[in-house]
Every structure is written in structure tokens, then in C-alpha cells.
Chains A and B, each alone.
Chain A
Amino acid sequence: MKTGQSSISPSDKSTRRIAIDPVTRVEGHGKITLLLDSDNHIREARFHIVEFRGFEKFIQGRPYWEVPFFVQRLCGICPVSHQLAAAKAVDQLAGVDRLTPTATKLRRLLHFGQILQSHALHFFHLTSPDFLFGFGSDPVRRNIMGVLEKHPEIALQGVKLRKYGQQIIEAITGKRVHGTGTLPGGMNKPLTTGWRDALLTDIENILLWSGNAVKLNEQIHTANPEHADFATFPSNYLCLTGEKGELEFYHGGLRARYPDGAFIFDQFDYCDYRQILREEVRSWSYMKFPYLHQLGNDRGWYRVGPLARVNNCDRISTPRAEAERKRFRAYGHDKPIHSTLAYHWARMIEALHCAESIQNLLHDPDITGTELVAEKGDRRHEGIGVIEAPRGTLFHHYQVNDEGIITRANLIVSTTSNNQAMNESIRIVADKYFDGREITEALLNHLEVAVRAYDPCLSCATHALGKMPLQVELIDAAGERVHRLTKDSTGQYVS
């Protein structure tokens, strides 16, 4: 079994091991280990996911139509994405290749609502405190409550954007979190005209606030050199795009680019994903390391999510978001932007696209139609659903037996695809901010900022009123602890 890209192991006497434990929760608990060489330089960063989930195993033996509602419990922030990815696979298992227009548009509306609320949460609730107060500012204030106090207009717009996305989810699935909605081959209820009209009432504000969020991110990113340089490294990018290369969240072909923007492949049928993707297992983490097979595990790792999507696509189908994409591209001189913090700028461009798309769908007569379920065909034994979740490309793959019972499942979630990239980001940030002697508050804060650019699930407790417990230990080459820094549950640092 491979143990990572470095030959250095924690037991190597020439290295020192620094453990940051826990960095935050990953549906439980995450941990960072920094491996130093004898010159006290960062040689490798390991971001450990130590919580075992086991969904792929315990859905085995369950009936296939149950799966979307089982696997959506993977997450409390993006359950809709898991439900929809599973539903696309379940459609295939039920022998359905084409949904009714209403069902397709309801799923798209649901997905836009999901991405809007998740992106709003990601930026406003979890990231904006870092950006507005500074990475190293007082953690007691560096949270959404602090933003509400200091920048109430920005915070309230974020809260309302998220609320609006959640209302869409509630309208279609019956609940804001963990509802139902999808059926094999369709949806279980129409959107009422009452809900449609209520959602249209607020859409102009949603468009305005989404646009404001893009401007805010552009301003922050371009005005602060530290942002542009923060955890910046070239990488490959992977996502779905539409047939014409447009930004696409629900259904499309896989596109991957090299760091210079050249295609690795384009419009690849995701049902054949096993031909292009491999997953490497490393002994120190429950999270796998996917890579593009043709490039090998050293060069084949890639990034997914908003930065990948906006870097990868040729256009965005809605005008305001397309205008912002062009500004983003111009900033990068029409090449992929590799700055990790540009994730947030791209994220808000996508939020604006969601708002515009929601408006279009709410004006579409099909959206309140009542033809919800397509006729089922012959049952199939394999279904693969791929979708662009807020954090990136999400793969759901199921096999069933003749009785409709799941026999095998493989899920490649977005954060898994970003696994190597997160490790790389942490390594670069640690290398820059570690003084070679001790763990400082500034280093901790910067590591958290790097992780948070990819996934708020990894740092959801960080801004919980600034009370994330955090412990860092510095262990020398002999294995002795020489320094420890703890951030306790009140946000206070204790040596």
C-alpha cells in the first residue's frame, strides 16, 4: 500500500512531527500533521480524516429506491446534492433515461436552491469573518455574529441568500434539510403556484445581493496581494460542463484541464468514469486520493468545485454571471487562476448564476406542471449519477441484483477529490507561516483559512462563535513534545 507522495514517515528520526488535533470537525473530527525535516522545513502535510462513515458498506442490502434518502444523510449542508446524484443513478436502475420536462426543471431548481444556500453559508457565515477582519484577528469576534455587528448589511444579505435557497428546497422537498422529492424517474410533487409566486417576490433582491457578493469578493481578492498569493499552486481541474462547454451543475460531460488550461479530456461520459479515475488509499487517512489515471497518481490529482468549474467552462448561460466570469478570466489573463482563495470569488459568481437561473425557472410554465414521473423501463443492474455539488463533482455509483437490492456502491464525494489539493494547500501555507520553532496562533488561523476555501464541512465549528477547540503539539525528532498550544472552547489560547 502506498503511504503518500513523500518517503518521509512520522517515525523517521530525521523528521519532526507536528500534530494539529483536532483542526476542526469533519462530520466529527479532523487533524493536521506537519512533517518537518531536520532543517525544520515543511516536507509534507497530511490532512487526516479520522471519522469513518461507511455509507458505501451499510447501504448494501438495502432496496435501491431507498438510497437517495439514505445517502443524503451524509451531509447536513449539501444533502440535496447527494439525493440528486443518487436519484440520477436510481433513474438508470429503474430504466428511465429521460424525465418529464417538469421533473427535470424541478430537480434543476432544487439544485440551484441548494447551491445558492450552500455557497451563501460557505462564504458569508464561514469565510467572510476571515476576509473582513483578517486571518489573525481576534477569534472571539471572527465569526458571523461579529460580522453582523460590524458589517450588518453584508451579514444580513448572506443570511437572507441562504434562507432563500433553503425556501426553494423546502418548497420542493417538504423540508429545508433532509426532505424527500425525487422518485425513480421523477419527482413526488409539483411546485405550487403559491410557492412560485412567493419565491418570485424576493428574486430581485436575491439577484442584487448575489451580485454584491461577487463584487465584494473581487474587491477583496484583487486588493489584497496576500489573498492572490495564498496557497497558490498549479493544478489540474475537473468538472462537468454542458454540451457547449457552459457552466453546468446538474448534467453534462466531464471536462479536465491541465494547469495551463489545455484540455486533458472533454465531454467524457461520466458513466465511464472508471476508465479515467483511480482512487489511491493511503494508510494514514480514511479519505481516498483520486487521480486521473492517464497522468498517474503523482501528476494526476486535480481540484474540483467553484474554482475548477469557473476555470474550466467556456461560458455561463446567464448574462450577469457570464459578465462576472469574464472579469474573473481577465484577472487571470484568460488562463486558469490557481489561487486557492479565488475559490470564494468563483463561488459567488456561481451563486449569481444560481439566482439568475432560479428566476428563469420560476418564469417557466413547466415548473408548475403536474407530469412528474416518467414511465419506467426495464430494470438495470447498474446506475451511475454524477452531479456538480457545491464543493465539486460528486459521483454515485450503485449496482443492484435482480431483486433490486444494492450489492455494491462507490461514492466519490467532492471533498475526496480535493484531498490532495487540501494537503498541498496546507503544506504551502505551513511552509510560509511556520517559523521553524513553534506553532503560533497565526499559523493555526492560516491553516484553517486554507482548508475552509475548499469545504466548510471541515471547518464548520471554527466560526461557531469562535469556540472551536484546537490543540497543536510540536514534537521534536526524538518524539518529545516541546511545545503545545491549545485554543479552548471559549476561544482563548493557552500554552
Chain B
Amino acid sequence: MANNEHTITIDGTEIHFKAGQTIMDAALSAKIYIPHLCHYPGLTPSGNCRLCVVELNGKDVTACTTQAQPGQQIRNQTPELNAARMAITQMLFVEGNHICPSCEKSGNCKLQAMGYYLGMRDEHYPQFNPRREMDASHPAVLLDRSRCILCDLCVRASREIDGKNVFAIAGRGIHAHLIVNTVSGKLGDSDIAVDDVAANICPVGAILIKEKGYVAPIGRRIYDQHMISDVAFDEHVPEHKEHGND
């Protein structure tokens, strides 16, 4: 491409971008996969999972929060970056209780799929085995905090799409945890509904629709059939709901 005013280059491939797009937006539009867990097109990027870190002109930046600028030279699929992504993924695994063999999210879990994508063979780091509160107080939605990776997607989806404010992240650093914005702190006292985006956007098994586990047979789950890198391009949250659901 002769005109680079609206192009960037990722791993040697020059792609167009639209004004205002992030590097992640541009890459996804061009069907170039940059690993990510906390990004979801249509939601404000937060840059907190750090998996989408790419090398831009010799510096590490998060692709989901960095604006695309003409002429950027970006390195994405490098051994060093993927090694760092693997370490991050392994840390996410050990920080929670991710027991894939019995987890109902298995096969549809982005964390698990990311592990497969990166060639993760073990967890490497010592298990934290955290004891975190399970909240089953809602009749249709289950919150299992032991699997939460603090991606913040439910927080943003509830506020930006559902028009509610069900979730928040409280605490800092290792003490950060997902809370429910009710006086009791219980999901059952919130106004979350089963078809809210926030109830369905969790990339892992932290927020689940009750009694729907294992309905998809082995072989027909998303990541039984596809690598996470192949199905990341069609995702987009629905339009903002003015009043949310009941």
C-alpha cells in the first residue's frame, strides 16, 4: 500500500484502520488475531488482562487501549510476547480455582481456549487455591468468584449495555475482587436478568446461567471446534439498552 496515512503494519502485514480505532479494533477488522481476554468489541476497553500487549516501535503497549496511528510498526506474534502471554495465562489459572475437568464452562471457556492457543502444558506456578464466596442467591444466575479473572467485562456490560450497575471491582492488587452493587452484596438482591449481557459475557465460569451446564455435548462446544484465534472476529455486544431488563 502506497499511502500509509491510514495504515499500520502488524507483523509485516499492512492493514487499514479507521480514525478513532485502536490497534485491536483495526487488527480484528483485518482478521488479525491479537490474544485478549478482557476486550470485547462494543465495550470500552480497559486494558487490564495484559494479554494484548504488543510491541510498538520498541515499546510494549496494550493493543486494546492504544489508538492506531498512521505508520505504526507493530510486532504481535513474537516468541517473547507469546511467552509473556503464556505466563499471564498461567498466573490467571493459579490465582483462581479453574478445575477444567469438571467445570461446566469447559469447551466454551476463553481462559481454557487461550491456554490451548498458547500451547500451555501446565500451570507452572504454585496454586493459590483461594477460598472465595459463591453467590447462588439469584434464582437464575450463579456467581462463582473462585473462577473470576477480574476481566471487568461484566462490570462494563452491565453499565454500558444493560443500563444497570450490577457489578464492580473492589480492592486493589491481590485483594481485588468482584462485588455486587447491592446493600446485601448478594446477586439475588440485584436487578440482573438472565438475558442481560452482563450475565452472559463472562469469558470463564464465574458468572453462569443456572442449570444450563453441560447442555452442549463434547464436540459441539465452541472451542472443541475452533481455536480462539479463529472465532474472535465475529464478537460484538448488542446495542445499549436504555432501561435494561426486568
Contacts and interface: CB of A to CB of B under 8 A. Distances in A.
A61 interface: yes
A146 to B, nearest CB: 34
Contacts of B136: 63, 403-405
Given A69-B102, A73-B102, A403 B137 contact: yes
A188 B215 contact: yes
7 contacts: A61-B134, A69-B104, A181-B217, A182-B214, A188-B215, A405-B134, A405-B136
A423 interface: no
Contact of A66 (B102, B218, B219): B102
Interface in B204-234: 210-211, 213-220
A65 interface: yes
Contacts of A178: 101
Contacts of B199: none
A115 interface: no
Nearest to A67: B102
A486 B124 CA distance: 35
B219 A73 contact: no
Contacts of B210: 63, 65, 404
A173 interface: yes
A179 B217 CA distance: 9
B213 A174 contact: no
Contacts of A119: none
A175 interface: yes
B64 interface: no
Contacts of A403: 136-137
Contacts of A174: 217-219
A70 interface: yes
A88 interface: no
B114 interface: no
B142 interface: yes
B102 A189 contact: no
Nearest to A173: B218
A418 to B, nearest CB: 27
Interface string A398-425: 0000011100000000000000000000
Contact of B213 (A66, A73, A94): A66
Nearest to B99: A70
Interface of B: 101-104, 134, 136-137, 142, 210-211, 213-220
A183 interface: yes
A180 B217 contact: yes
B101 A189 contact: no
A15 B101 CA distance: 47
A184 interface: yes
B142 A73 contact: no
B214 A188 contact: yes
Contact of A180 (B134, B211, B214): B214
Q: Which 9 residue pairs of A and B lie closest in terms of their CB atoms, listed nearest first?
A: A174-B218, A403-B136, A189-B217, A70-B102, A69-B102, A180-B214, A188-B217, A405-B136, A174-B219
Nearest to B137: A403
B218 A63 contact: no
Interface in A369-423: 376, 403-405
Given A174-B217, A180-B218, A403-B137, A66 B104 contact: yes
Interface residues of A, number: 25
B222 to A, nearest CB: 14
B10 to A, nearest CB: 37
A65 B104 contact: yes
Contacts of A183: 214-215
Contacts of A180: 214, 217-218
A178 B103 CA distance: 12
Contacts of A188: 214-217
Contacts of B220: 189
A181 B220 CA distance: 12
Nearest to A181: B217
A61 B217 CA distance: 25
Contacts of A70: 102
Given A69-B102, A178-B101, 20 more contacts: A62-B134, A63-B142, A65-B104, A65-B213, A66-B104, A69-B101, A73-B101, A173-B218, A174-B218, A174-B219, A180-B218, A183-B214, A183-B215, A184-B211, A188-B214, A188-B215, A188-B216, A189-B220, A376-B211, A405-B134
Contacts of A404: 136, 210-211
Interface string A182-221: 1110001100000000000000000000000000000000
Query: Which residue, of A175, A180, A376, has the highest number of chain B Cβ atoms within 10 A?
Result: A180
A264 B219 CA distance: 47
A179 B216 CA distance: 12
Contact of A65 (B103, B211, B217): B211
Contacts of B102: 66, 69-70, 73
Contacts of B213: 63, 65-66
Contacts of A61: 134
A94 B104 CA distance: 17
Contact of B214 (A69, A73, A376, A405): A69
B208 to A, nearest CB: 8
Contacts of A181: 217
Nearest to B214: A180
